[in-house]
Amino acid sequence: MCSPQAMATVQRAITRRRFLGAAGSTGALAVLGGVGRPQSAALQGAATPGATPVIAPLGTPIATGCFGSVLDLTHTITPDFPVFPGSEQFQANVLVRVEQDGFYKSQLVLDEHTGTHMDAPAHFDANGPKADTLPVANFVAPLAVIDVAARAAANDDYQVTVDDILAWEAQNSALPEGAFVAMHSGWEARLATPGAFLNADAGGTLHFPGFAPDAAAFLVEERSIVGIGVDTISLDFGASTDFATHLTVLPAGKYGLENLANLSVAPPVGATLVVGGPKHLNASGGPSRVLALF
């Protein structure tokens, strides 16, 4: 995927038929509308004199504005991946195997809100859109990552505040129009220790960071966002009993992403979020493949 400026360059080049010569008998380039990757090594960096090259290896910055790095923000769902108390754990029941049957497939049993997943507005709003009807344009957005890991390390119940958002803006400039705002709390490191991710106390109350309701309201009312995300299991902090952050964000037509991975690697600003959201009928949400391009 390229920036609008880059795509304009590509379109001008196509108009001048400069790419037609570059593609030659190979048939086409593999870049328009997606992260530029050649279909074969012969296409890698190949161009006739005067052509505008737009393909580069993964990880190589591209001067035209195309993205050179792809970061997976998605956890692998396993049978022991933490789920919200009361939800059924993921199961993958093998139905056939290559060795016996010539092909392999499994039957999946899972709660919609398992692993790295989306919360659609309908999850907390009876009249809100379901995941399968959300505008797909909202699934590609500027990514803003607010790092509160140091605060969360000192306070399991930390909540992202309006001051955290304003401090991010003071350092990185105003949140981009149509941004997706993610909290990096460092919580995913706890997945290696059973029980530490949900962090329930002796009375069963969960303790993990999230967005404070007033911070959520600030983002919805004072900024232009498509949604918010967390590297914990809930947009609200663990001890919440009223789910006020969910009730602020989702009924406003925004979506949430929970259990995001690798936010420590994502830049605070400058990346583009791409969400492969669920599209089963009447989805309140569902497991999603989430990428950051930069």
Specify burial of residue 92 (Cβ count, 10 A radius: 0-12, 13-18, 19+): middle
**Is 97 within the bounds of a domain?**
no
Residues 231 and 147 in one domain: yes
Q: 28, 49, 65 — which closes off a domain?
A: 65
- Residue 252 maps to which CATH number? 3.50.30.50
Contact in structure between 141 and 148 (CB atoms under 8 Å): no
pLDDT for 245-283, tens place per residue?
A: 999 999 999 999 999 999 999 999 999 999 999 999 999
The pLDDT of residue 2: 54
**Is 205 within the bounds of a domain?**
yes
Q: What is the DSSP letter of 226?
A: E
92 contacts: CB under 8 Å, gap ≥ 6: 79, 106, 107, 108, 109
The pLDDT of residue 31: 32
Cα 164 to Cα 225, 226, 271, 275, distances in angstroms:
16, 19, 19, 25
Residues 50 and 173 in one domain: no
**Is 39 within the bounds of a domain?**
yes
Residues 142 and 288 in one domain: yes
**Residue in the structure block whose two tokens are 């001048």:** 16
Listed residue (73, 34, 77, 70) closest to 286, CA to CA: 77
User: What is the rounded average pLDDT for all residues in the chain?
Assistant: 84
Residues 163 and 273 in one domain: yes
Categorize the per-residue pLDDT at 189 as very low, low, confident or very high, splitting at 50, 70 and 90. very high
**Is 203 within the bounds of a domain?**
yes
**Is 279 within the bounds of a domain?**
yes
Measured CA to CA, the distance from residue 161 to residue 168 in angstroms comes to 11
Residues 172 and 282 in one domain: yes
The pLDDT of residue 21: 41
Residues 19 and 131 in one domain: no
Residues 42 and 152 in one domain: no
* End-to-end CA separation in angstroms for the chain: 10
**Is 104 within the bounds of a domain?**
no
pLDDT for 163-175, tens place per residue?
A: 999 999 999 999 9
Residues 187 and 42 in one domain: no
pLDDT for 112-154, tens place per residue?
A: 999 999 999 999 999 999 999 999 999 999 999 999 999 999 9
Tell me the residue length of the chain: 294
Residues 191 and 263 in one domain: yes
How many domains, in total, are found in the chain?
2
Question: Is pLDDT at 217 greater than 80 in this prediction?
Answer: yes
Residues 158 and 245 in one domain: yes
Question: Which residues span the domain enclosing 52?
Answer: 4-65
Beta bridge partners of 145: 182
pLDDT for 66-121, tens place per residue?
A: 788 999 999 999 999 999 999 999 999 999 999 999 999 999 999 999 999 999 99
Measured CA to CA, the distance from residue 252 to residue 224 in angstroms comes to 11
The pLDDT of residue 67: 81
Cα 89 to Cα 51, 83, 84, 115, distances in angstroms:
53, 7, 9, 10
**Is 231 within the bounds of a domain?**
yes
Residues 47 and 137 in one domain: no
Q: 45, 65, 85 — which closes off a domain?
A: 65
Q: How far is CA 271 from the centre of its chain?
A: 11
293 contacts: CB under 8 Å, gap ≥ 6: 1, 35, 67, 69, 70, 71, 271, 272, 274
Bigger pLDDT: 38 or 186?
186
pLDDT for 10-69, tens place per residue?
A: 344 333 333 334 434 333 333 333 333 333 333 333 333 333 322 233 343 333 357 889
Residues 254 and 189 in one domain: yes
**Is 196 within the bounds of a domain?**
yes
